Amino acid sequence: MTWRDDLTLPERHLGLVQAGEHGDLEAFFDRAAALVADDEAALIRLARPWAGNGGRASAADGVAPLPPLGQRIAVADDEAFAFRYPHVLDGWRAAGAQITPFSPLADEGPPADADAVYLPGGYPELHAGRLAANGRFLEGRRGAAGRGAVVFGECGGYMVLGRALVDGNGESHAMAGLLPLETSFAEPKMRLGYRRAALAAEGPLGAAGTGFRGHEFHYARIIEEGPGAPLFQCSDASGHDLGPAGLAEGRVMGSFVHLIDGEGDG
């Protein structure tokens, strides 16, 4: 098979540029589908069916879904906050939670009746100036925390919960200030790997010691973190202790770990 320049996708520091940022993605898929159709039999030979639960993980497979953060969960959803697992949101819905998306880049805050706010990972460092200027978004998060809602940030979402985010040009932008955290992208350094994350104390995610499986992949550096209580005690995929991770202050919490599921029995 020859190299096809028309089937390449642009990249950035965390992988491919997100689908929502492509202007002609359907045409790209049409070209890719036509190429695959030329040798469909070879693709089928490479495929291996999974004998599990119709291709879906369940508690019977040793997987424990993440507990819902609340009954009405507001989820940040735009080009700055797009790194979320669909199975996590599906699990929350299956548990009876209502999921409502909102766009920080459009200066939207979480709904006033949300009892939880989830800020997933993404590229806030590419939009730091815009986020810092979006008062309704920042005040909406502060208001949610002030009325006792759970506020949970992962990776990029964690960075935005902090006091400041330094972008790639070295400019510092004020963030929500809900956690004593300052991060920087001015001198990027990669952190990558699977993680076991055990809750350091009881909180909205469960009892102290509750374990989760997740991963960490970012280039941001921590300039200042704390003082404050850690959210997790972490180890890597080989079981090596990585020490405390993240911060928790009341019902506001976050870390650089993207949670995948609970440890279950598998």
pLDDT, residue 266, reads 45
Q: Provide the token pair at 63.
A: 């997987």
The single-letter DSSP state of residue 174 is E
| pLDDT per residue as tens digits for the range 183-203 | 999 988 888 899 999 999 999
Higher pLDDT, 263 or 259: 259
Kindly give, in sequence order, each residue whose CB lies less than 8 Å from that of residue 36, ignoring residues fewer than 6 positions away: 43
Q: What is the pLDDT of the chain when averaged over all its residues? A: 87
pLDDT, residue 40, reads 73
pLDDT, residue 65, reads 86
Fold of 65-262: Rossmann fold (3.40.50)
Which stretch of 18-27, 115-124, 168-177, 215-224 has the lowest confidence by average pLDDT? 18-27
pLDDT, residue 18, reads 62
| Percent of the chain residues past pLDDT 90, beyond the cut | 70
Kindly give, in sequence order, each residue whose CB lies less than 8 Å from that of residue 140, ignoring residues fewer than 6 positions away: 108, 109, 110
CA–CA dist 125, 25 (Å, integer): 24
pLDDT, residue 21, reads 67
Q: Would you give the end-to-end CA distance of the chain in angstroms?
A: 40
Q: What angle do CA 86, 188, 9 make, to 5 degrees?
A: 50
Element (H, E) at 181: strand 181-184
For residues 140-145, give the mean pLDDT.
94
Catalytic residue among 128, 155, 231, 257: 155
pLDDT, residue 103, reads 97
Question: H helices within 191-232, ranges in order?
Answer: none
Looking at the chain, which residues constitute the CATH 3.40.50.880 domain(s)? 65-262
234 is catalytic: no
Q: Burial level of 111, CB count in 10 A (0-12/13-18/19+)?
A: middle
pLDDT, residue 211, reads 96
pLDDT(2) > 70: no
pLDDT, residue 181, reads 98
CA–CA dist 199, 209 (Å, integer): 5
